[in-house]
Each structure stands twice: as C-alpha cells, then as structure tokens.
Amino acid sequence: MALETLMARGPKSRAFYRVAATRKMTGGGDFSRKISERAQSDLSEVKAELQRRESGSLSLEPRGPNVRFDPDHYTVMENCGTFEVRVVRAGDLNGEVTVQYTTEDGTAEAGSDYVAAQGSLIFRHGETEKTFSVQVIDDDVFEEDEHFYVRLTSPRGACLASPSTATVVILDDDHSGVFSFPQRDFELTESVGTYDLRVVRTAGARGKVRVPYWTEDGTAKNGAQYESAQGSVIFENNETEKPLFVHEKEAQDDLIKILDEFGSRLPAVVIHSFTGSVEQGLKYIEKGFYLGITGYICKDKSDGGIRRLLSERLLPLDKLLVETDSPFMYPNMRASKLPLHVKDSLTERSMNFVNRYCTFQRNEPCALPAIVELIAGFLGQKPEDVALATAFNALKIFGLSQ
C-alpha cells in the first residue's frame, strides 16, 4: 500500500511514462494498477489472519466437554463448488451436544462470492466429529483473493473451545496469479544438506505457468558455501503450491524444528532419498511426511535402518515414494547381505535394465522397476501393489493428471 501511494503521488520521470506506455502497447498492462491489486490482496490476507488469531486468543481451552473447528483455516478455489467444514468435539463424550454455525462476510460477500449458510450440528452420544458444506460462487470476473468467516455459537451440552471461528480464503481462478516465496529470509545450518524452497501462487490460479529461478551470491559464495541452482517451477492449471522436497543428512532435529515453524501451512513434504534409522523414519511418518526410498536399501547394513522399517511394515504404502536418485545410489543387487528372498523377488526384465544401462559410477532412472521389486521383497508384497500405491502417491503429491 505504501509503495502504491508513493508511486501515485511522487514525482515521475520521463522514463517512468515511457516504460508505462511501452508496457501498455505490448500487453504488459498498467503496473501501478497491478501493484494496487496485489496490495489489496495482501491486505485481505492480513485482515483474515488477524481475525483468525483474534478469535483464537479470546477463549482458554476448557476442561469439560467442548466443540471447536479443526482446522480453522481453509483455502479454496473459486471454482471448487462446495467444500466441507469440520467441527470436532472433545472432553466428556457422554450425552448429546448441539452447536449453531453461521457464515459472516469478510472481504467476500454472501450472494456474490459464496452462499450464506447457517444451521445446527448435533453430536450424539460418543460422536466426535461433524461436517457441513459451504458453497462458493464462481464467476468469470477477475477479483482479488477474498475471505469470509464461519462462526460457532450457542452450544448446548458443551462449551466453545478455541478456535470457534474459521477463516475461508477464496482464491480467484480468473487470473494466472502472483508467485512468491512464503517469506523473505530462511536461516539454515550448514548440515542441512539440500533444502528446497517453497513457491506459492496467490491472486489467481488459471492456466499452466512456468516460473524460472536462479541463485545469486550474497555473503555466501557459490562453490564454497552453496551450490548454484537454476531451472523452472511449473504450476499446472489451478495449482497453487508445489510440494516440499527435502534432503537431510544427520540433521533431523534441525529440519523438524524448521518445518514445525510453518505448522499446517506446509504443503506435502517428501523426505528425499531417506537413509536414516527406524526412529527417524517414524518421526517423519508421524508428521505425515512421505519417505523416498532408493537403491540405498542394498547398502543398508544396520539393524535399525530402512530394511527393518520395510520388513516390519512400519512404513505404510500411502507414505512411500520410490526414487532412483540418479545418477547416485546404484542398486547393487550383488550385495552380500541382501537377503536371499529379496534377491529372488527380482525379475529378469528389471535386472536387464540395471545390467545394461547402469554402472557403479552412474545410476539411471531405468533402475526404478528393480527398486520397486526390492522394496516389495522386504515388505513381502507383490511388486504390482507397491508400484500402484507409490504411483498414486506421486500423482497426488505432484498434482499430475495421469
């Protein structure tokens, strides 16, 4: 907002007018207006966040039976149709509990941006969760991201716990969006290994967009303190964020501490090329993270590592991804301590790929079928089942259509 005011009122050079005219002639548009639109969008988000925090700090956690929203923040696309809002009951579950809910305008208005809703939720004896639907109105007009609220009132048989107000942010889908990092600065320890930055898309989500990125030296120098990187992040139509791909070595406590700061705002988190212990794997699984397993299972000779995580079925299939980590992590099928029943699970077809195209010096993506069969051997399951489950996980995490 300050930038918008400064540009609107301050003196302007001839270069300013030339740039503005050129942008309009080439389809770039009025950047003063775009700054204003972005500022209004940011202001909407700030107001929504302040309202959410205010509602969450008004009441202390009650000791008796209580009801509250879980989660208390929803981000939905304008074209989503309807979405479910969840209310949970805690404490004493005996008897019946009733609570009223109603929507309330923020920057989004009932009748034009969403359909006003109100009603009652009845928790029967022992019931802990109820949901209700709210409808979002779609149109073809570009708008800033807007928000409205849903409030719980008039409980009977219980009291309200925090949060009793939920915030709903509607992302407009009639604009390609604005792309940014979630924060300006990131503090990392040297031992963190590879750290992937999250890129978010706001103020619209229409169309497939390619966003280029590259690194530049600050006080840290390329080749000494970090390795340079450049490439592109691809956002598919209606995709608003990318999964977080994380590689850590002997830095789990630091990594979890960093990620915990973001809480429920995190996208899907993938622990790339996991090589840790059972205890470390279970910590990640408990937090809902996905583990990427590579040909490292051929090298794992510990009693409490990946092999045990798989053979004791401590890693559920819905939290598993299969990786080759090419050109590294060559799957050495001749490893002396690779169990015989696992070696027997390897098919001639997958071994042909490994033997023909892969070497100790360079692994290749074609080793993926062999790694699937290795994992299936340790799990005691069919390779087809592992392939199907992990392929579904990849489609879900990365927003792939097929």
pLDDT in tens, 357-390: 888 888 899 999 999 999 999 999 999 999 999 9
Q: Is the pLDDT of residue 179 over 50?
A: yes
Residues in contact with 240: Cβ distance below 8 Å, sequence separation at least 6, in sequence order:
75, 77, 171, 177, 200, 201, 202, 205
Q: Among all chains, which residue has been given the structure tokens 């149109």?
A: 139
pTM for the model? 0.45
Q: What pLDDT, on the 0 to 100 scale, is given for residue 20?
A: 60
Q: Among all chains, which residue has been given the structure tokens 């708008």?
A: 143
Per domain, the residue ranges of the chain are: 2-56, 58-171, 178-398
Cross-sheet strand order for the sheet of 146-156: 73-77, 165-171, 146-156, 97-105, 118-123
Q: List pLDDT tens digits, range 48-107.
A: 555 555 554 444 556 789 999 988 899 888 888 899 999 999 988 999 999 999 999 999
- Give the pLDDT band of residue 264 (cuts 50, 70, 90): low
**Alpha-helical regions (H) of 107-260:** 252-260
Q: What pLDDT, on the 0 to 100 scale, is given for residue 375?
A: 93
Q: Are 136 and 114 in contact (CB under 8 A)?
A: yes
Residues in contact with 390: Cβ distance below 8 Å, sequence separation at least 6, in sequence order:
317, 320, 321, 322, 372
Smallest Cα–Cα separation from 79: which of 167, 175, 210, 165?
Answer: 175
Q: What pLDDT, on the 0 to 100 scale, is given for residue 58?
A: 45
Taking the alpha carbons of 314, 327, 247, 239 in that order, is the dihedral positive or negative?
negative
Q: Are 167 and 74 in contact (CB under 8 A)?
A: yes
Residue of 4 and 226 predicted with greater confidence = 226
Q: What pLDDT, on the 0 to 100 scale, is given for residue 249?
A: 77
Q: Evaluate whether 58-171 and 178-398 have a shared fold.
A: no
**Share above pLDDT 70 across residues of the chain, in percent, rounded to a whole number:** 78
- Give the pLDDT band of residue 313 (cuts 50, 70, 90): very high
For 264-284, what is the mean pLDDT?
86
Note the CATH number of domain 178-398: 3.20.20.140
Q: What pLDDT, on the 0 to 100 scale, is given for residue 6?
A: 45
Q: Domain 58-171: give its CATH architecture.
A: Sandwich (2.60)
- The count of other CB atoms within 10 Å of the CB of residue 170 is 26
